Amino acid sequence: MRYAIVILVSALTFGLSAASAGPAKRPLVLAHYYTWYTTPWGAGGQWGHWTHGKASSVLPRPNDPETILFPPAVREISSCAYPLVGPYDSMNPDVVRWHIRLAKAAGIDAFFVDWWGSGSWQKPSGWTHDVFVKTVLPIAEEEHFKVVLFDETPQFVDNFETIKQWTTQYLMEFKDSPAWLHIDGKPAWAVYQLWQGKLTAEQGEELIKHVEKEVGPVYWIVDKMRGRGTDKGFELFVPDEWLAIRQIDCIMGYAMFSTHRIYEYKDLAPVYKDYVAAVHKAGKKVLLPVHPGHDNRKIAEEPWVMPRQNGRTLRDFWRAATEAGVDMIGITSWNEWPETTVVEPAMTWPDPYLYLRIVAGFQGRKFIAPPLPSPESLDPAMQEYLEGK
């Protein structure tokens, strides 16, 4: 892929209830924020999630970020787009602050921060925990921005007792931070359960009861949007046993590209409308995913591409979700670079800020980009170039 280097240098504060997110009927907007990135020059001390250890449809071998494809600074990373500031380390406070200021400028209300707890399988061990505690949460506090953990451990950790322990422990630790997202006066917590999910409905209810006994009331956002074919076509639904759990406040869906691969407004609108109506009828709120695109050719041998259409795909998703009467929107994603679902500025687009401008437009804001992070905090290969600009 030929990358053109374009470097452009060019407050929304969410309160303690969804109603404060903006004008009446405007849904609360969150973006999925990934903290798994490491670099040799950063705190992680190695390449993490900028490289993929297998062949893909683009390369017959693993990619190598040490390779400079285009001087001075475009590396061979595992993404079909390239970050405006190059590959970065998630512990970098300058980059995290820039991300938060960008999100605020676009009218995004909060980040869903990807979370694997203190699990030792991460490299470095406990990385997402450390990034959140040392960098993301304190900077969000300073910037008056809201965050909530998007807990992936119930999907991947086998020991259910560990899930109960960690959820209780970390909610107790974080819920009173001024940056922690509260909805309807309750600290929020989001549970990732893509595909069929590891948790049974019985375990889900047990988890909720266990945590609330120790923590008090929690605003539970649970990923249980599913898809199925019917004699009338395709529909989204929530399994009855999960819909029946009274304590779940909001049913979310992380992705349409893992449920049903549609992205045109004419296909999305009726599906989203019927789904929102059904979940509302059950007395729960709805969070729907909106996507700018999807392109995993750098990490998959059999990839799937959702075209960006110069912003039309994001607009179609947003229009379908809001017209359906959704309560919350989940932007998938802020910075999932390997699947290239990002709205974070990329130097591979004619306007690196295009998708944030689109979000800002839906939020009734004029997007003004904050200054870039300091060059000395970025890829050493980028520094000389950026300083020259």
- Omega prior to 124 cis, within 30 of 0: yes
DSSP at 246: T
DSSP at 351: S
CA dist 328 and 340 (Å) reads 22
Q: Report how far Cα 372 is from the mean position of its chain's Cα atoms.
A: 21
Domain boundaries, given as residue ranges, for the chain = 18-388
Please name which of 291, 296, 297, 333 lies closest in space to residue 312, comparing C-alpha atoms. Answer: 291
The confidence score (pLDDT) of residue 381 equals 83
CA dist 12 and 140 (Å) reads 13
Structure tokens at 91: 């512990």
User: Right CATH number for 18-388 from 1.10.3720.10, 3.90.76.10, 3.20.20.110, 3.20.20.80?
Assistant: 3.20.20.80
CA dist 118 and 93 (Å) reads 20
Residue 181 contacts residue 188 (beta carbons within 8 Å): yes
Mean pLDDT by 10 residues, the chain (389 residues): 35 36 73 98 96 94 94 92 96 98 98 94 93 98 98 92 97 98 98 86 97 98 94 92 97 92 96 98 98 97 96 98 98 98 96 98 98 92 64
Q: Report how far Cα 138 is from the mean position of its chain's Cα atoms.
A: 19
Dump the DSSP string for 56-67.
-SS-SS---TTS
Please name which of 271, 369, 368, 361 lies closest in space to residue 29, comparing C-alpha atoms. Answer: 361
Three-class SS of residue 208?
A: helix
Q: What pTM was estimated for this model as a whole? A: 0.92
The confidence score (pLDDT) of residue 17 equals 39
Residue 259 contacts residue 236 (beta carbons within 8 Å): yes
Torsion sign (Cα): 212, 215, 218, 220: negative
Structure tokens at 388: 């020259």
CA dist 133 and 131 (Å) reads 6
The confidence score (pLDDT) of residue 194 equals 78
CA dist 63 and 78 (Å) reads 6
Residue 28 contacts residue 18 (beta carbons within 8 Å): yes
Three-class SS of residue 322?
A: helix
Residue 80 contacts residue 304 (beta carbons within 8 Å): no
